[in-house]
Amino acid sequence: MKAAVLHEVGGVPRFEEFPDPVPAEGEVVIEVLAAAVENVDKAVAAGKHYASGKYLATMPMIPVFDGIGRLPDGTVVGFGNVRSPYGALAEKTVVPEGAYAPIPDGIDPAVATVMASAITALTMKTAAGLQPGETVLVQGATGVAGRLAIQVARLLGAGRIVATGRDDTQLAELRADATINTAVSDEALQKAFDEAGAYDVVIDFLWGRPTEILLRALTPDTFAFGTPTRIVQVGEVAGSDLVVPADALRTSGVELYGAGRNLSPESMGEAYQQVVDWTRAGELTFAIDRVPLSEIESAWQRGSSRGRRLVVQP
């Protein structure tokens, strides 16, 4: 079969022949229809992710660990938990029986690969309890997940949306009520956060420096009661660590939540169905760069996607 084959840690996958997967007992071979390439996939391939050791133990290997495919009986499914060295960037892959779920009718397989990012955006409701009319701050809004978060906030009835990013041109493309460029001095960024007003919910794809400065901005300089702000930690594009001053929590009313708060099989199912309904109705749209598997080498090395997800299709 044809596949994107990685020969060394930190290398670039090459389009070439690879042996077809042979299922062991309790496994099934899936015909791959589409697979999204995300930052985490590149981090694993570069040996910079905690899961790298597991997936890079056998070389050569095929990157990306979930996608959309077709079972032998024709059912279209979303799959995960691929058996190394077989990944999703191939014509076929192999997974354990049951490591897949049907994709609803009427959903484009390429779109289905990106729907998880919209489900993540729904943590502004599941984790932080967003209510209609509240103000949402999207930290890291120019990426794929951030742009989807803006759409989701609108669909959930947010009264005002503030978006942050490092590129004024991309910020101007967003459907936000106000934008903040984080590529400024600490003092200027704190002032921008202050001037943009109070925030009820923050969905944070950045962490690191921008969120540390946000916490400073949310800390009152008087004995007045602070406006409660619920921050949902989702990503760490700007850094995995930050300093949280005691008074940022003690006096500001800030509440920090992980994206997994309140998640359960039931709430995940409800979130998934909501995203499906919005997608079918055309209310939620996905920016996708569709690339054939044969072009994986150049696509893998591509720079900024301007908020578009790379989706590879055999």
The answer to whether residue 270 is domain-embedded is: no
Instruction: Say if residue 57 is in the same domain as residue 156.
Output: no
User: What are the φ/ψ torsions at residue 309 (nearest 5 degrees)?
Assistant: -90, 135
Give the Cβ contact number of residue 31 at 10 Å. 16
The answer to whether residue 265 is domain-embedded is: no
pLDDT for the residue 250:
80
29 within 8 A of 62, measured Cβ to Cβ: no
pLDDT for the residue 49:
82
- Cα separation, 108 vs 65, whole angstroms: 19
pLDDT (mean) for 49-64: 88
pLDDT at 279 > cutoff 60: yes
pLDDT at 56 > cutoff 90: no
pLDDT at 304 > cutoff 70: no
Q: For 100-155, what is each residue's pLDDT tens digit?
A: 999 998 899 999 999 988 999 999 999 999 999 999 999 999 999 999 999 999 99
Domain harbouring 233, CATH code: 3.90.180.10
Instruction: Give alpha helix (H) positions in the chain.
Output: 39-45, 52-55, 109-112, 115-121, 123-126, 144-155, 168-173, 186-195, 208-218, 246-250, 265-280, 296-300
pLDDT for the residue 282:
93
Instruction: Say if residue 132 is in the same domain as residue 103.
Output: no
pLDDT for the residue 225:
63
The answer to whether residue 277 is domain-embedded is: no
Q: How many CA atoms lie within 13 A of 11 on its CB side?
A: 15
Q: For 172-219, what is each residue's pLDDT tens digit?
A: 999 999 999 999 999 999 999 999 989 999 999 999 999 999 999 998
Instruction: Say if residue 237 is in the same domain as residue 135.
Output: yes
pLDDT for the residue 226:
60
pLDDT (mean) for 254-269: 90
Instruction: Say if residue 133 is in the same domain as residue 254.
Output: yes
The answer to whether residue 290 is domain-embedded is: yes
- Whole domain around residue 223: which residue ranges? 117-258
pLDDT for the residue 132:
97
Instruction: Say if residue 105 is in the same domain as residue 127.
Output: no
23 within 8 A of 94, measured Cβ to Cβ: yes
Whether the model clears a pTM of 0.85, i.e. scores above it, the answer is: yes
β-strands 254-258, 288-292 pairing:
unpaired
pLDDT (mean) for 253-269: 89
Mean pLDDT of the chain: 92
Phi-psi region for residue 25, left (φ > 0), alpha (ψ -120 to 50) or beta? beta
Instruction: Say if residue 78 is in the same domain as residue 184.
Output: no
